[in-house]
Amino acid sequence: MPEDFVSRLARFGPDIHSGLSDLYCENLDAIYARVIALAQSTHAARSKALKQRDADQPADWFQSEKAIGYVAYADRFAGNLKGVKKKIPYLKALGVTYLHLMPLLNPRPGENDGGYAVMDFRSIAPSLGSMRDLASLATALHSNNISLTIDLVLNHVAMEHEWAVRAREGDPIYRDYFYVYPDREVPDQFEQSLPEVFPDFAPGNFTWDEDLNGWLWTTFNSYQWDMNWANPQVLLEFLDIIGFLGNQGVDCLRLDAIAFLWKRLGTSSQNQSEVHSITQVLRAFTKIVAPSMIFQAEAIVGPSDVGAYLGEGRFTGKVSDIAYHNSLMVQIWSAFAARDARLMSVALNRFAELPPHTAWTTYLRCHDDIGWAIDDSDADSLGWSGFGHRSFLADYYSGIFHGSPSRGVVFQENPATGDRRISGSAASLAGIESALEISDPLRRQQLVDSAIDRISCGYAIVFGFGGLPLIYMGDEWGLLNDYTYTERPLESPDNRWIHRPFMPDFEALNAEHRKIAQELSARITRLSVARAALPQLHASQKSVVLTTSHIAVFMVVREGERGSLLQVYNVSPDPATISGHEFPWKPQSIDLITGNSVELGDQIHIPAFGHWWLLPR
């Protein structure tokens, strides 16, 4: 065995063994031996170029202040994978160093949960290209200092996947890959504590299958079969898949639906400790065979649970490398609606310091709906009703609330809980769509400008808070809700497609929207440039949220060995004034985002949606 492989095996082999011991009581040594044999063959198949990348890639590449992410659907962004390769200069101009292409792996035909019902993990959706195209794209991205992220669905497979087909054919080995019950007794016991992910179009968590002659666990949809991770063969299958994808040049795997992997009666069957043991094994295996590859946890869970996906206690430094800061997104939109940053300050101060060598991914919008994850205790601390505030946000962003500029739509309303999630593009939620409905030219332009300022402020928080910031495709052009999704039969039942528009040719935009696109693109590019010059925004630095005297002013200090940086944000469409004594130290009077001077006297006046990054004097 190569010396570098041996040294990594010595370092990460114990993590594999201890993780396996948490999961499987029987045949532990035999399972471990199979994992190590698989690691040897996977590493042997890795190309010289990728092994060189493993050696050259800095361990903190995803934590760097120069790291900027872009998230896109390949077909909607550029047609297919070959088209994405042609868009590399566009991405570089935005400052992008990390490209996340939404589901690429071959999904079932027809309805497929937006690509998350995968029928083959070793091929690409035919409309997008081939696995050879993916490897070619990865090579081109690497030569332009851009890393590639793709999705890997761990919780389930499509009912057309080979494993599911063989289970239906009666193969007992593959039947054990899934949870199958002969009657409703056990499923009904589980259902007492299980939430419903899609109560509108996929109620319940179990589906009867005639071929299996049993009730099958299907958390998301009847055609998505949950995997039985209590079966070690399932883990071995996914280790092989991870090694295969890593050897195509993938730099990061977004571990989809990771919170759901382990089932336990009497619980929500989410966030179980075994999930982290599984991830520990997957990560340790990856660090042996493809050490520059990282994991992103798709854990859209509560603030008290999300930290575990980056490592807590004995899992510190042993699970995912990056994870979504869903709470930051929710709190930004909450603050804009309420014109009040206090809840955001309370909520973000609750988060523990991250383990070393990990980072948040921060974002203003994503491909998914917005669930109003407002903690009742956070709301209580301000004398607010958590239920009432969540209802207000749903009303505001669906445009029901009087005076709201938003044009979102309600997704998956649950009458029993009052839960109403929201779909909508950043531009439509921020008010650009409604502004363009105004006939009076002066008022129309004022509202467009205000919406652009709102988006700019939101992205400044995303870029400055700490972690790897993500630009969601189309936000940089202010793309609006795409109502044509209702004309496409496979999309029309799911209104999340409203905020997954196709990226048009720039010249196809009308003159007014070209101006909007040019302005937003320039502002986001300016944020990228400013961020890349500030080592204080390396993810290893700590963010400290400060309390201010004005309810609309949100302040963050980045503190650490790399220096200090003060960020000041006004989340309101009205100017705000605070005392200069509220600053932790005397800052320079130059905003590092724009290079413009700011007035920093005894009284500091912050313009509507103002956002400053300031260094100490």
What confidence score (pLDDT) does residue 556 get? 97
Q: Which of 195-204, 566-575, 594-603 has the lowest mean pLDDT?
A: 195-204
15 is catalytic: no
593 occurs within a structural domain: yes
Residue 407 neighbours by CB under 8 Å, 6+ apart: 399, 424, 428, 429, 433, 434, 480, 481
Give the pLDDT mean for 567-596. Answer: 96
122 occurs within a structural domain: no
* Domain boundary pick from 226, 256, 278: 226
What confidence score (pLDDT) does residue 240 get? 98
For residue 163, the domain's CATH number is 3.90.400.10
Banded pLDDT at 202 (limits 50, 70, 90): low
Banded pLDDT at 544 (limits 50, 70, 90): very high
Q: Select which of 65, 133, 151, 256 is catalytic.
A: 256
Q: Does residue 586 carry a pLDDT above 70?
A: yes
The average confidence (pLDDT) of the chain is: 96
Nearest to 109 by CA among 153, 166, 161, 175: 161
Q: Select which of 298, 453, 475, 591 is catalytic.
A: 298
Residue pair 475/426 in contact by the 8 Å Cβ criterion: yes
Q: Following CA atoms 483, 369, 157, 362 in sequence, which dihedral angle do they give, to the nearest 10 degrees?
A: 120
**Biggest CA pair distance of the chain:** 77
Angstrom distance (rounded) from CA 291 to CA 283:
9
Q: Does residue 174 carry a pLDDT above 90?
A: yes
What confidence score (pLDDT) does residue 200 get? 66
360 occurs within a structural domain: no
186 occurs within a structural domain: yes
What confidence score (pLDDT) does residue 578 get? 97
Angstrom distance (rounded) from CA 327 to CA 304:
11
Q: How many independent structural domains does the chain possess?
A: 2
Give the pLDDT mean for 290-316. Answer: 91
What confidence score (pLDDT) does residue 287 get? 97
Residue 179 is part of which domain span? Answer: 156-226
For residue 596, the domain's CATH number is 2.60.40.1180
What confidence score (pLDDT) does residue 304 get? 78
Give the pLDDT mean for 416-444. Answer: 95
Residue 28 neighbours by CB under 8 Å, 6+ apart: 17, 20, 21
Give the pLDDT mean for 256-265. Answer: 96
Give the pLDDT mean for 499-508. Answer: 96
Banded pLDDT at 25 (limits 50, 70, 90): confident
Place of tokens 């869970």: 301
* Domain boundary pick from 226, 245, 278: 226
Angstrom distance (rounded) from CA 262 to CA 258:
9
Give the pLDDT mean for 299-321. Answer: 89
Angstrom distance (rounded) from CA 249 to CA 136:
9
* Domain boundary pick from 202, 226, 250: 226
412 occurs within a structural domain: no
220 occurs within a structural domain: yes
Q: Does residue 201 carry a pLDDT above 80?
A: no
Residue pair 69/471 in contact by the 8 Å Cβ criterion: yes
Give the pLDDT mean for 138-147. Answer: 98
Q: Does residue 302 carry a pLDDT above 80?
A: no
Give the pLDDT mean for 51-66. Answer: 96
pLDDT > 70 fraction of the chain, expressed in percent and rounded: 100
592 occurs within a structural domain: yes
What's the distance, Cα to Cα, between the start and end of the chain in Å? 55
147 occurs within a structural domain: no
What confidence score (pLDDT) does residue 203 get? 80
pLDDT tens for 312-353 read 999 999 999 999 999 999 999 999 999 999 999 999 998 988
256 is catalytic: yes
As given in the structure block, the two tokens for residue 423 are 């779909």
Q: Does residue 408 carry a pLDDT above 80?
A: yes
Angstrom distance (rounded) from CA 420 to CA 390:
8
Burial 563-578, CB ≥16 within 10 A → b, else e: ebbbbbbbbbbeebeb
What confidence score (pLDDT) does residue 14 get? 97
